[in-house]
Amino acid sequence: MNATRPAAVVILAAGEGTRMKSALPKVLHRIGGLTLVEHAIRAARQTEAQFVEVVVRHQRDRVVEHCREVDADLLFADQDDVMGTGRAVECGLDALPADLEGTVVVTSGDVPLLAGDTLLRLTEQHAADGSAVTVVSARVPRPFGYGRVVRGADGSVEGIVEEKDATDGQRAIDEINAGIYAFDVAVLRRALARVGTDNAQGEKYLTDVVRIAREEGHTVRAHVVDDLWQTEGVNDRVQLATLGRVLNERVCERHMRGGVTIVDPATTWIDVDVSIGRDTTILPGTQLLGATSIGEGCTVGPEVTLTDTEVRDGATVKRAEAHLAVIGEGASVGPYSYLRPGTVLGAGGKIGGFVETKNADIGEGAKVPHLTYCGDATIGEGANIGAGTIFANYDGMAKHHTTIGRHSFVGSDSVIVAPVTVGDGAYVAAGSALTKDVEPGQIAVARGTQRNIDGWVARSRAGTKTHAAAEEARARTGPPHTDDSDSTGSEGDGAS
């Protein structure tokens, strides 16, 4: 529990974000797998404030619904038709308990790299200085567009002027207002009541609180942040991409420092909630998204996209896409396979090349190596599914389940027309179209029997090179022998 815990954090998210040119409210755009406002909410929560509140207006229902989903304990305040950050905070205070005392922190819903730690440092300094207002500021090479921090001779903050209201001299100031503050709540309330809209934008500026607090004789100081990215806001999609890249660099760095090899961080995209074990190697072109977790000693990539997927220790995944799948210990996947939701690959199992799986429980050591669609299936341990096998799970009306027993063997190019159960230790002959169950120990042969028609090439392809080759071979080996015997002895021919 921290000694300078604020009473409330107010997150401003009422603005439209016009420059995004989007049907989606700005704060619902994402970087690192989280919406901009979710980043702000997480940082706010780290202060352990009693209340965390989001001020909404533009598309308020959509924003509120999303915020509730990510954090059920938030408060919400609706901003009315008076515009400006000052009005937004005023509406925010109105929705908080009237007897609230202590510190209120104000942040923005569009400053996603701001760390909770920075808010903790802000409230610590605010308390230590005994200030009524503490403004987070940064010295930047290009201050254009930001409010400038005007300091007095003693280093305290005298005021903040917006770009549009600034004199040429003030525009030369390189210390900007990051839009993040700690306020004494009583001073804030009183000052906001006095803030007007007489400025270039006709808005009620939160920044005017600084001047009013000074007039009342209170101390206002700045908390200077060196890590400039933490104060950067997203106003358009160029900034969204830039901050997304910086966030990703930070996430990759955290994993590398934790013992993960990332061969090319520039082409590796890792969402903030992903976990990766030590001695795992991530190869180029890989995206690890959502709640994906990867164990120790795995190799993932190149060109793998995993969403909400669990990869257990020692597994290998290359050139594959998986969503809501589990890849077992020491198992291997790819290249060029697609694991859809409900795929569970057992320890030491294999999903090879050009395989699509969905709702498929593939047992320990079982193999689906080549060119297969495997949907709605349970495959027992050690079973082998031959190349080109199709689990025909859909009859045009409903989905049906297939069960393949332990150590069973499905020959190549079979179609398994579900619902079908193949028992333990059974075989399905290559090229079968299976519609009935197979008992343990049986082989099912579900295809036309081979017929060899003698003399066909001589009759139908006379004079071709094929005919000549046949004649030459005949001259060496004599007349053909006709095989009428049951040919199932070599039926179970899976590729490998």
Task: Give the DSSP per-residue string, 299-319.
Answer: EE-SS-EEES-EE-TT-EE-S
Which option in ligand UD1, Ca ion, none does residue 251 bind, with CB closer than 5 to 8 A by kind?
none
> Does residue 147 belong to the site contacting Ca ion (CB under 5 A)?
no
Give the containing element (helix H, strand E) for 108. Answer: strand 103-108
- Residues in contact with Ca ion, total (CB under 5 A)? 1
Phi, psi of 197 (to 5 degrees): -120, 20
Nearer to ligand UD1, 106 or 362 (CB): 106
Nearer to Ca ion, 233 or 352 (CB): 233
CB of 155 to ligand UD1, least distance (A): 19
Subset of 250-269 contacting Ca ion (CB under 5 A): none
Q: What is the DSSP letter of 273?
A: T
Determine the Cα–Cα distance for residues 17 and 58; give it in Å rounded to an integer: 9
| Residue 48 to residues 42, 106, 170, 199, 364, Cα–Cα distance (Å) | 10, 14, 37, 36, 45
Contact footprint for ligand UD1 (CB under 6 A): 12-15, 55, 79, 83-85, 87-88, 108-110, 146-147, 160, 162, 176-179, 205-207, 233
CB 223 within 8 A of CB 121: yes
> Among 50-58, 230-238, 242-250, 482-490, which window interacts with Ca ion (CB under 5 A)?
230-238
Residues paired with residue 410 on neighbouring β-strands, in sequence order:
385, 428
Cβ neighbors of 172 (< 8 A, separation 6 or more) are: none
Phi, psi of 365 (to 5 degrees): 70, 5
Q: Pick from 244, 246, 171, 182: which is nearest to 210 by CA?
A: 182
Nearer to ligand UD1, 88 or 326 (CB): 88
CB of 106 to ligand UD1, least distance (A): 9
Q: Which long-range contacts (CB under 8 A, 24 or more apart) does 72-81 make?
A: 74/41, 75/51, 77/10, 77/53, 79/14, 79/55
Which option in Ca ion, ligand UD1, none does residue 159 bind, with CB closer than 5 to 8 A by kind?
none
Nearer to ligand UD1, 110 or 271 (CB): 110
Determine the Cα–Cα distance for residues 429 and 384; give it in Å rounded to an integer: 12
Nearer to Ca ion, 142 or 481 (CB): 142
Nearer to ligand UD1, 19 or 399 (CB): 19
Query: Position of tokens 């704060």?
Result: 27
Which option in Ca ion, ligand UD1, none does residue 392 bind, with CB closer than 5 to 8 A by kind?
none
Q: Mark residues 428-467: x for contact with Ca ion by CB under 5 A, - for none.
A: ----------------------------------------
CB of 91 to ligand UD1, least distance (A): 9
203-220: burial string, b at 16+ Cβ within 10 Å, e else:
bbbbbbbbbbbbeeebbb
> Among 36-44, 231-239, 312-320, 449-457, which window interacts with Ca ion (CB under 5 A)?
231-239
Nearer to Ca ion, 239 or 281 (CB): 239
Which amino acid is it at 275? S
In this structure, the chain runs to a length of: 496
Q: Shortest Cβ contact with ligand UD1: which residue? A: 147
> Among 69-77, 79-87, 233-241, 451-459, which window interacts with Ca ion (CB under 5 A)?
233-241
Give the containing element (helix H, strand E) for 105. Answer: strand 103-108
Is residue 39 part of the annotated active site? The answer reads no
CB of 167 to ligand UD1, least distance (A): 15
CB of 109 to ligand UD1, least distance (A): 5
Query: Position of tokens 């202590």?
Result: 102
Q: 432 exposed, middle or buried (CB, 10 Å; 0-12, 13-18, 19+)?
A: buried
Nearer to ligand UD1, 164 or 459 (CB): 164
| Residue 256 to residues 251, 261, 282, 427, Cα–Cα distance (Å) | 9, 6, 10, 47
* Interface residue with Ca ion, options 86, 233, 349, 380 (CB under 5 A): 233
Query: Which residue among 66, 255, 323, 370 is the active-site one?
Result: 370
CB of 383 to ligand UD1, least distance (A): 56
Which option in ligand UD1, Ca ion, none does residue 88 bind, with CB closer than 5 to 8 A by kind?
ligand UD1
Which option in ligand UD1, Ca ion, none does residue 289 bind, with CB closer than 5 to 8 A by kind?
none
> Directed axis angle between helix 60-70 and helix 36-45, to 10°?
50
Task: Give the DSSP per-residue string, 120-160.
Answer: HHHHHHHHHHT-SEEEEEEE-S--TTSPEEEE-TTS-EEEE
Which option in ligand UD1, Ca ion, none does residue 84 bind, with CB closer than 5 to 8 A by kind?
ligand UD1
CB of 137 to Ca ion, least distance (A): 15
CB of 323 to ligand UD1, least distance (A): 32
Q: Shortest Cβ contact with Ca ion: which residue? A: 233
Question: What residues line the site for Ca ion (CB under 5 A)?
Answer: 233
Residues serving a catalytic function are: 370
